[in-house]
Chain A
Amino acid sequence: MSTATETRAPHQDLPGGQPGGRVGGGLFDPRQLLTSLPEALRKLDPRVMVKSPVMFVVLVGSVVTTALAIAHPGDWFGWAITAWLWLTVVFANLAEAVAEGRGKAQADTLRRAKTDTVARRLAQGAEERIPGTDLRVGDLVVCEAGDTVPGDGDVVEGVASVDESAITGESAPVIRESGGDRSAVTGGTKVLSDRIVIRITTRPGETFIDRMISLVEGAARQKTPNEIALNILLASLTIVFVLAVVTLKPFAIYAGADRQTSMVVLTALLVCLIPTTIGALLSAIGIAGMDRLVQRNVLAMSGRAVEAAGDVSTLLLDKTGTITLGNRQAAEFLPVQGTTAAEVADAAQLSSLADETPEGRSVVVLAKEEYGLRERHQGELSGAEWIAFTAQTRMSGVDVDGRRVRKGAAGSVMAWVREQGGRVPQDADTLAARISEAGGTPLLVAVQDGGGARVLGVVHLKDVVKEGMRERFAELRRMGIRTVMITGDNPLTARAIADEAGVDDFLAEATPEDKMALIKREQAGGKLVAMTGDGTNDAPALAQADVGVAMNTGTSAAKEAGNMVDLDSNPTKLIEIVEIGKQLLITRGALTTFSIANDVAKYFAIIPAMFAAAYPSLDKLNIMALSSPESAILSAVVFNALIIVALVPLALRGVRYRPSSADSMLRRNLGIYGLGGLIAPFIGIKIIDLLISLIPGIG
């Protein structure tokens, strides 16, 4: 969709956007705070607030202090505390509203794509025009050039080019055709050419686009298991602190500090102690995590899947397109005895000009790069008869000036040479065998001219592993994730590529059943498995995998079975998805630690403020040397509120994440958020106290 790019940050601006810090988030624009304010205020509804127990307690506290402030209108301190308690609640809602707001723009664009369409339904061979919303599952509809696809479905007849930019943001049209793995069409996309018949597979209102809208808006957001668990822990901490504060009153009365522990002060203490920082940001972290996926054009059908992605311990990666570039490429020209590599290159190039397959193109490219052979064009050679590559002949070539050059699969070329009465030299066989053993594919180059038919040499075609994959797999290994390459190749070839790419294991000659069995085996060992897939035969495995990422180009069966859809259909993205899942959990853990560690400083601010009058010895706890009891308590409350706003950007973009071992990650995060959480509030509260004491009439 076109506006997806508006919220997507340029890569170089990402926090830690250098190589290695791939996971980042969108930019945080302070203006978003302002625009989200109305929504934040709407969220003050107690029925909404009660979902976050921590912030609900703050809301109740705010109401109580407001009532008290109204009862004692002359008490500046009561009013100040009241104001900052309300701000604490609003800041929390603001965090959530900002996180949600980032999805809203995308949802609006999607809605525009969803405008009411007219469906041309086929009924008993006749065509009738009905509103798209009246379609039922199983209906057949016709779409021609210029029509908008009225609903999700599979092409059952014809082939067409379709503009899917409304969904993917990618403007280049894609081909959709009946049968095979490219049959799915999505409602809201536009047919650009030809005519197709679509069988509707989804009810109106439940289409892919509908689900996307609710996902990016966060409307369908349900708390994930880990989020629920964390909420329980936070709620129990809140209860403990409620008890600690409520019971403090009788203790204080006994100590003679009744006046210093007014309802306002105790409420302020409670709000400072309960884990408001994480309580306020928890849902924003979850929404932002989903949003980070959306920004990478990945739609997670549930938050559970995002969390599971962080836990994945086995990645199943398809070889082609994920680990290797889509196609084999010529890597080397090997001459047989009596010829030179340059001769082979020349003949290979000539015979490949009529070969439009990527392999054929790569031969031409290699000849140019290695031997400086200018690419010739078919038109340059007059009187040449071109023989194009076909799947049947498995050979291409050219007949020109009485010279016949051929290049192709070893078997085909050998047969051709023998047919022409030529001889296949021993070393051609040896070379071909050696290339096969190394995991490559040998192409033979032969010529028939005055000297008869003979093999000139061999072209070594090999899978080219994508750049940087080895390093990425090493990173994954450090993160404790095992990568398994899935390929249809024979074990020999598979092993060679697996070694080159640095994957931990491979599954050769893989059938869908093999894939399924592998997933089940891994899961039986307690491992979580992630995989990508697009074909209908991938669907069972996608459903079985803990994280199944379906390619958007795939069949609707695959998209239905997976729990994520990658709109870019880029299988390598699985690695990023795993990183986003981890980053989500780390952010939660880091802010929880920070929040709890903060309490120490707040005690040192508030306890002496409350009790130094009754027990002067407790003034020794005022290690920050805060100016007055009122200022100390207010400073703690102000810090508590401001830290929420200060951490909103962090919650939205996530804690910086670099793939590394659990040990080093823990050490780093404990250092920053544990120790930092201990120290930061001492400094923050002191500064706020200094500022407050400057206000005339206070302190």
Chain B
Amino acid sequence: MGPLSAGVLQLLALVVALGLAYRPLGDYMARVYSSDRHLRVEKWIYKATGADPDTQMRWPAYVRAVLAFSLVGVLFLYLLQRVQGHLPGSLGFASIDPDQAFNTAASFVANTNWQSYYGEQAMGHVVQTGGLAVQNFVSAAVGMAVAVALVRGFARSRTGELGNFWSDLVRGTVRILLPISVLGALVLVACGAIQNFAGIHEVGQFLGGPQQWNGGAVASQEVIKELGTNGGGYFNANSAHPFENPTPFTNLFEIFLILVIPFALTRTFGRMVGSLKQGYAILGAMATIWVGFIALMWWTEFAHHGPAFQIAGGALEGKETRFGVGASSIFAVSTTLTSTGAVDSFHSSFTGLGGGITILGMQLGEIAPGGVGSGLYGMLIMAVIAVFIAGLMVGRTPEYLGKKIGTREIKLAACYILITPALVLVFTAFAMALPTPPHSMTNSGAHGFSEILYAYTSGANNNGSAFAGLNADTQWFNTTIGLAMLLGRFLPIVFVLALAGSLAQQRPVPVTAGTLRTEKPLFTGMLIGTLLIVSALTYFPALALGPLAEGLA
């Protein structure tokens, strides 16, 4: 069996597994967010924190709750790192410098998990498990809460109420992320991932010389790292590290974890707006792009150029032999089309065009299927834009799911789509124009430019993966990427929630034969087209000077 057919079989297995989980998980999540009842453990949490889980929030209140909760998260994580040196259970690691602590705090709260540190050389058990892993759960739950609030905006009418952030946050964590994580961690441990609080082992290397091995609660962090589309590895090598991702099966399982919630949320969406077909249309757009990108990645990574490629059967440099070119490509596409950023191979070592595919995947806004929650709301914003243009072409004021897309709605959607390109391009431009930041590049020429473009693309889109090669632990990069991550996460959330509020107030327009049918394949195609053209047009010049210049050579 050739490596390509192995890849195809793995992809098929993945699609089947995702297909099996789609219905039950999607419906379950819809029930979780629609139910009136609180679990006992949730009541304890509300009592302990003093949160009121029952008052309906209008969009400004929802925004305030999201921002306040996240601000507290950033401050707590920052302080935890700053005092690490004085905490027990820190494996003797020192406190983290202010710029890196800021970067890491911003990174994990923004569900980005960009890491300018080496996990095994900087973060002890307390920060890893008590700080980073906690944010892995709650930052993911925040994203899902915001997505559900937007869905409620579409589903509800003549009310400004979007639900209750505290109850959405706690339920997402307790009823969705935790149970799946427990099961997932057991699977990973069973397959060889480690889960302990051991210290540092000196191990002799095969070719001589010593090597350090850290213990840690790796499996539990690994599972939420993928499930919550976080991506921050326990170890620097991330999912390429055998303690995190020991076998081809765990590799496939981790890809499954990355994709399962974002895809299933389209079912939740369909359920909550009362039309499963609308969910399938969104799913169709996401799945088409995802499969298309994998096919493109295989095409470029399996292209045989030169003797090394031919012997290896493809571009194997920077990829683990236990995963191969096929599965590494699926992982790379899945991690960049979601806001995960975990890596099982070095994206920098992909072919020029392959690297470009990972960058473009993030630049699409990570919505195919995207991060947990953020993928759905990002895709719905694009649907609003597509509806606005397509809706005009059927001769009516555009409407989506019975809600009119008027001035206010388009203003908010336009602001949303403006933010990430602005952050990526402006920060990259400054990094290229200033004298020192380019010193962080490992490579020269187009590839060096790709490293910086990748870094800001990853940060502003809350992906978190790195092109590898860029030395990002400088004050400049820690600060600017930290800002890009925070702004790239929370500004869009503000606009999404404002949009949700505006939609929820509307009276629904009844569907007639003159209504644009957004559940039809034609609209799915239109959505994909809008997405590709709008994003690709924005970044085309930058991509030309990086991956395209390199890949076409």
Whether B407 and A666, one on each chain, are in contact in the complex, defined by CB atoms closer than 8 angstroms, is: no
Chain A residues within 8 Å of B414, by CB: 232-233, 235-236
Q: Which of A307-315, A317-325, A343-351, A451-459 is near enough to bind chain B?
A: A307-315
Specify the chain B residue showing the minimal Cβ separation from A615: B549
Specify the chain B residue showing the minimal Cβ separation from A528: B509
The answer to the question of B548 belonging to the interface, with a C-beta cut-off of 8 Å to chain A, is yes
Q: Which parts of A590-649 form the interface with B (CB within 8 Å)? A: 590, 592-593, 596-597, 599-600, 603, 607, 611, 614-618, 620-621
Question: Given A247-B542, A607-B540 in contact, is the A311-B388 Cβ separation under 8 Å?
Answer: no
Q: Which of B22-30, B60-68, B229-237, B391-399 is near enough to bind chain A?
A: B391-399
Min CB gap B121→A, angstroms: 32
Whether B406 and A526, one on each chain, are in contact in the complex, defined by CB atoms closer than 8 angstroms, is: no
Q: Which of A96-104, A107-115, A251-259 is near enough to bind chain B?
A: A251-259
The answer to the question of B529 belonging to the interface, with a C-beta cut-off of 8 Å to chain A, is yes
The answer to the question of B134 belonging to the interface, with a C-beta cut-off of 8 Å to chain A, is no
Chain A residues within 8 Å of B548, by CB: 617-618, 621
Question: Given A236-B418, A670-B526 in contact, is the A589-B390 Cβ separation under 8 Å?
Answer: yes
Interface 1/0 per residue, A263-277 and B, CB below 8 Å: 000000100010000
Distance A244 CA – B520 CA, assembled complex (angstroms): 33
Partner of B541, one of A248, A310, A481, A589: A248
Interface 1/0 per residue, A71-107 and B, CB below 8 Å: 0000000000000000000000000000000000000
Whether A585 and B544, one on each chain, are in contact in the complex, defined by CB atoms closer than 8 angstroms, is: no
The answer to the question of A674 belonging to the interface, with a C-beta cut-off of 8 Å to chain B, is yes
Min CB gap A308→B, angstroms: 8
Question: Given A251-B429, A607-B541 in contact, is the A310-B510 Cβ separation under 8 Å?
Answer: no
Partner of A243, one of B396, B421, B507: B421
Q: Which of B394, B410, B411, B507 neighbours the largest number of chain A CB atoms within 10 Å of its CB?
A: B394
Distance A233 CA – B385 CA, assembled complex (angstroms): 8
Distance A669 CA – B526 CA, assembled complex (angstroms): 12
Whether A588 and B392, one on each chain, are in contact in the complex, defined by CB atoms closer than 8 angstroms, is: yes
Partner of A617, one of B411, B520, B534, B553: B553
Whether A662 and B517, one on each chain, are in contact in the complex, defined by CB atoms closer than 8 angstroms, is: yes
Min CB gap A639→B, angstroms: 17
Distance A273 CA – B406 CA, assembled complex (angstroms): 25
Whether B390 and A666, one on each chain, are in contact in the complex, defined by CB atoms closer than 8 angstroms, is: yes
Q: Which parts of B412-427 form the interface with A (CB within 8 Å)? A: 414-415, 417-418, 421-422, 425-426
Question: Given A307-B397, A585-B397, A603-B540 in contact, is the A251-B545 Cβ separation under 8 Å?
Answer: yes
Q: Which parts of A217-243 form the interface with B (CB within 8 Å)? A: 225-226, 228-230, 232-233, 235-237, 239-241, 243
The answer to the question of B190 belonging to the interface, with a C-beta cut-off of 8 Å to chain A, is no
Chain B residues within 8 Å of A611, by CB: 544-545, 549
Distance A599 CA – B550 CA, assembled complex (angstroms): 23
Chain B residues within 8 Å of A614, by CB: 549
Whether B510 and A247, one on each chain, are in contact in the complex, defined by CB atoms closer than 8 angstroms, is: no
Whether B406 and A229, one on each chain, are in contact in the complex, defined by CB atoms closer than 8 angstroms, is: yes
The answer to the question of B307 belonging to the interface, with a C-beta cut-off of 8 Å to chain A, is no
The answer to the question of A365 belonging to the interface, with a C-beta cut-off of 8 Å to chain B, is no
Q: Which parts of B510-544 form the interface with A (CB within 8 Å)? A: 510, 512-517, 520, 522-523, 526, 529, 533-534, 537-542, 544
Distance A519 CA – B138 CA, assembled complex (angstroms): 49
Specify the chain A residue showing the minimal Cβ separation from B395: A582
Specify the chain A residue showing the minimal Cβ separation from B432: A250
Partner of B510, one of A228, A526, A670: A526
Distance A667 CA – B516 CA, assembled complex (angstroms): 11
The answer to the question of A361 belonging to the interface, with a C-beta cut-off of 8 Å to chain B, is no
The answer to the question of A665 belonging to the interface, with a C-beta cut-off of 8 Å to chain B, is yes
Chain A residues within 8 Å of B396, by CB: 310-311, 582, 585, 662
Specify the chain A residue showing the minimal Cβ separation from B438: A254
The answer to the question of A696 belonging to the interface, with a C-beta cut-off of 8 Å to chain B, is no
Whether A232 and B411, one on each chain, are in contact in the complex, defined by CB atoms closer than 8 angstroms, is: yes
Specify the chain B residue showing the minimal Cβ separation from A252: B545
The answer to the question of B15 belonging to the interface, with a C-beta cut-off of 8 Å to chain A, is no
Chain A residues within 8 Å of B544, by CB: 607, 611, 618, 621
Q: Which parts of A570-599 form the interface with B (CB within 8 Å)? A: 581-583, 585-586, 588-590, 592-593, 596-597, 599
The answer to the question of B346 belonging to the interface, with a C-beta cut-off of 8 Å to chain A, is no
The answer to the question of B508 belonging to the interface, with a C-beta cut-off of 8 Å to chain A, is yes
Distance A249 CA – B541 CA, assembled complex (angstroms): 10
Whether A232 and B542, one on each chain, are in contact in the complex, defined by CB atoms closer than 8 angstroms, is: no
The answer to the question of A45 belonging to the interface, with a C-beta cut-off of 8 Å to chain B, is no
Whether B393 and A244, one on each chain, are in contact in the complex, defined by CB atoms closer than 8 angstroms, is: no
The answer to the question of B449 belonging to the interface, with a C-beta cut-off of 8 Å to chain A, is yes
Specify the chain B residue showing the minimal Cβ separation from A616: B553
Partner of A589, one of B391, B529, B537: B391
Whether B389 and A589, one on each chain, are in contact in the complex, defined by CB atoms closer than 8 angstroms, is: yes
Distance A673 CA – B389 CA, assembled complex (angstroms): 12
Tally of contacts, chain A with chain B, CB under 8 A: 211
Distance A240 CA – B540 CA, assembled complex (angstroms): 12
Distance A665 CA – B541 CA, assembled complex (angstroms): 34
Partner of B508, one of A478, A526, A592: A526
Distance A254 CA – B544 CA, assembled complex (angstroms): 13
Whether B552 and A618, one on each chain, are in contact in the complex, defined by CB atoms closer than 8 angstroms, is: yes
Specify the chain B residue showing the minimal Cβ separation from A620: B552
Specify the chain B residue showing the minimal Cβ separation from A228: B407
Distance A599 CA – B509 CA, assembled complex (angstroms): 34
Distance A585 CA – B393 CA, assembled complex (angstroms): 7
The answer to the question of A420 belonging to the interface, with a C-beta cut-off of 8 Å to chain B, is no
Distance A686 CA – B244 CA, assembled complex (angstroms): 54
The answer to the question of A480 belonging to the interface, with a C-beta cut-off of 8 Å to chain B, is yes
The answer to the question of A192 belonging to the interface, with a C-beta cut-off of 8 Å to chain B, is no
Specify the chain B residue showing the minimal Cβ separation from A239: B418
Distance A389 CA – B414 CA, assembled complex (angstroms): 69
The answer to the question of A393 belonging to the interface, with a C-beta cut-off of 8 Å to chain B, is no
Chain B residues within 8 Å of A607, by CB: 540-541, 544
Question: Given A251-B432, A273-B537 in contact, is the A527-B510 Cβ separation under 8 Å?
Answer: yes
Partner of B394, one of A581, A616, A666: A666
The answer to the question of A661 belonging to the interface, with a C-beta cut-off of 8 Å to chain B, is yes
Min CB gap B234→A, angstroms: 35
Whether A669 and B393, one on each chain, are in contact in the complex, defined by CB atoms closer than 8 angstroms, is: yes
The answer to the question of A520 belonging to the interface, with a C-beta cut-off of 8 Å to chain B, is no
Whether A480 and B391, one on each chain, are in contact in the complex, defined by CB atoms closer than 8 angstroms, is: no
Distance A615 CA – B446 CA, assembled complex (angstroms): 9
Whether B389 and A593, one on each chain, are in contact in the complex, defined by CB atoms closer than 8 angstroms, is: yes
Chain A residues within 8 Å of B418, by CB: 236, 239-240
Specify the chain A residue showing the minimal Cβ separation from B410: A229
Specify the chain B residue showing the minimal Cβ separation from A592: B389
Whether B390 and A313, one on each chain, are in contact in the complex, defined by CB atoms closer than 8 angstroms, is: no
Specify the chain B residue showing the minimal Cβ separation from A678: B533
Chain A residues within 8 Å of B426, by CB: 243, 247
Question: Given A250-B433, A479-B514, A589-B393 in contact, is the A526-B541 Cβ separation under 8 Å?
Answer: no
The answer to the question of A525 belonging to the interface, with a C-beta cut-off of 8 Å to chain B, is yes
The answer to the question of B77 belonging to the interface, with a C-beta cut-off of 8 Å to chain A, is no
Min CB gap B190→A, angstroms: 48
Whether A481 and B393, one on each chain, are in contact in the complex, defined by CB atoms closer than 8 angstroms, is: no
Q: Which of A230, A236, A248, A249 neighbours the largest number of chain B CB atoms within 10 Å of its CB?
A: A236
Question: Given A250-B432, A596-B533, A597-B533 in contact, is the A244-B513 Cβ separation under 8 Å?
Answer: no
Distance A253 CA – B538 CA, assembled complex (angstroms): 19
Distance A586 CA – B390 CA, assembled complex (angstroms): 9
Q: List 10 A-B contacts (CB under 8 A).
A: A229-B410, A243-B422, A243-B425, A244-B538, A255-B446, A478-B513, A525-B510, A586-B393, A592-B392, A665-B395
State the A residues within 8 Å of B (CB). Answer: 225-226, 228-230, 232-233, 235-237, 239-241, 243-255, 269, 273, 307, 310-311, 313, 477-482, 525-527, 581-583, 585-586, 588-590, 592-593, 596-597, 599-600, 603, 607, 611, 614-618, 620-621, 657, 661-663, 665-667, 669-670, 673-674
State the B residues within 8 Å of A (CB). Answer: 385, 388-397, 402, 405-407, 409-411, 414-415, 417-418, 421-422, 425-426, 428-430, 432-433, 438, 446, 449, 507-510, 512-517, 520, 522-523, 526, 529, 533-534, 537-542, 544-545, 548-553
Beyond A232-B410, A307-B397, A526-B507, 6 additional pairs, beta carbon < 8 A: A244-B542, A251-B428, A253-B433, A479-B514, A621-B544, A662-B515
